[in-house]
Amino acid sequence: MHIVHVTAELTPVAKVGGLGDVVAGLSAQHQKMGHTVDIILPKYDCLRSDQIDDLTRIKTDLQVPWDHGMVTCSIWKGQVHGLSCLFIDPHSDVGFYHRQAIYGQVDDIQRFAFLSRASIEYLWQIKSQLDIIHCHDWPSALTPVFLFEIYQKLGMTKPRVCFTIHNFKHQGVTGRDILETTGLHRQDYFCQVNSLLDLHNPHVLNLTKGGIVFSNFVTTVSPRHAIEVIDENQGFGLEPVLQSHRSKFAGILNGVDYDFFNPATDPALVATYHADSLAGKQENKHALRERFSFEQSHKPLVAFIGRLDPQKGLELVEHALFTTLKQKAQFILLGSSLDPAINQHFKTLARQFSDSVNAHIEVGFDPQLSREIYAGSDFMVVPSKFEPCGLTQLIAMRYGSVPIVRETGGLADTVFDIDYSDKPISKRNGFSFKDFDETGLDSALQRALACYHDTPERYQNIVLNALRSDFSWNNPAQEYLDIYESIRT
């Protein structure tokens, strides 16, 4: 099968959160399984070009219809860790992708609507015989609208579209003028309740809603989250749309790229290790403590890694820090936010602990350090308010750091409490709590720390269960292929 992803993010060249990891991991697995995969993304000026091989301009004159005229684009081709990538590079004065940032610009809607239009225009012009276009979140949600409303009529009849919603919070809500700008000229047709019109505000359009309506299949990133967004009011207003498209909607758990995130080979670690030989994990813990001038002791080390976004349950993250210290354990936080006020709050907290030998707060984005923390920590706390899938707990388990999570979304689908799960004991791989409050968190955190101190053998068994869990892309990649196949026929 020939699959093309249209995406705003790709790890490691344009990574913001989990979306970039998913596109990279899923594509690599499909490629391994013998399918042809291309990934189309913007040629941001902040791309990590050191991670791109053989970057070559393959086209200089792609004419993309835009704003009643044409924008000329170059297309660049390169390989990112063995994946074939096409980069869109418009020659326009507005410099859509020359902002030293991936998101956060006032014209984000235009920037990514352009990505969708240019991607499909390119595929049409080269007469690509692709089978599946896989779009991700609101930035590429207009792609199926262009395909089925413009390009299919021009003869592009083969491709089908799978649309994955990684996060329902961000939906691409915008004014009607985006229709004229992108060449969707039939205002009356698109501004309908059963089309792009937002359900809650008749003056605006909702790009994610358009993606749901126009795609052949829609997924979100865990089975539990699929239920939450359709039936449990977590769809940020999209529940009725999902309900009426229920038959083409499913949750597929994200995987983790087990080749990249591998404690047996990871060059970021001071010592490698695996389930049958865990000594190296202790060396990583020792090195991590040295790096942050921590006391070397028998204390367990609890960590948090993630975007400092309210979604992640920041008040509980902070509470976890204080509970951990009260329980005579150690804590490391690595995170950053797009919101300067949140960064400032955590920087102030960092100063409070600057002399601590038991706590460290690192405000920043540092993939190498993140892997040192996954490897060096004993527990990873993920107390999210909502979590469509969550990769942090999956990577933590891959590195033998036991997750302590709130039972929501993908966290509930992947972490099985050692005391309360109905899974067989060999599948129980962490600690979880239900209610989003301090009492809930404390109950799980205190059970975890007590387990570490009082029953070390039991703790070791949980580490082994976590290390032996399989959250690779093997199963989810096959599930996506089954969906692709079902919409192709």
Nearer to ligand ADP, 296 or 344 (CB): 344
Beta strand 132-136 with 83-90 is: unpaired
Nearer to ligand ADP, 264 or 338 (CB): 338
Nearer to ligand ADP, 118 or 361 (CB): 361
* Nearest distance from C-beta of residue 123 to ligand ADP, angstroms: 27
Contacts of 71 (CB under 8 A, 6+ apart): 63, 64, 90, 91, 92, 114, 118
* Nearest distance from C-beta of residue 37 to ligand ADP, angstroms: 21
Residue among 393, 380, 371, 367 at smallest CA distance from 222: 393
- Binding footprint of ligand ADP on the chain (CB under 6 A): 17-18, 21, 305-307, 334-336, 365-367, 370, 389-392, 395
* Nearest distance from C-beta of residue 432 to ligand ADP, angstroms: 16
* Nearest distance from C-beta of residue 20 to ligand ADP, angstroms: 8
The tokens of 363 are what?
């405000």
Q: What is the DSSP string of 40-90?
A: EEE--TTS-GGGEEEEEEEEEEEEEEETTEEEEEEEEEEEETTEEEEEEEE
* Nearest distance from C-beta of residue 71 to ligand ADP, angstroms: 31
* Nearest distance from C-beta of residue 433 to ligand ADP, angstroms: 18
Q: What is the DSSP string of 85-154?
A: EEEEEE--TT-TT-SS-SS--TTHHHHHHHHHHHHHHHHHHTT---SEEEEETGGGTTHHHHIIIIITTT
* Nearest distance from C-beta of residue 426 to ligand ADP, angstroms: 25
Nearer to ligand ADP, 128 or 343 (CB): 343
Nearer to ligand ADP, 81 or 160 (CB): 81
Nearer to ligand ADP, 12 or 65 (CB): 12
Per the CB < 8 A criterion, the answer to whether 206 and 172 are in contact is yes
Distance (Å, whole) CA 209 – CA 369: 37
Nearer to ligand ADP, 66 or 399 (CB): 399
Instruction: Name the closest residue to ligand ADP (Cβ).
Output: 18
Per the CB < 8 A criterion, the answer to whether 421 and 428 are in contact is yes
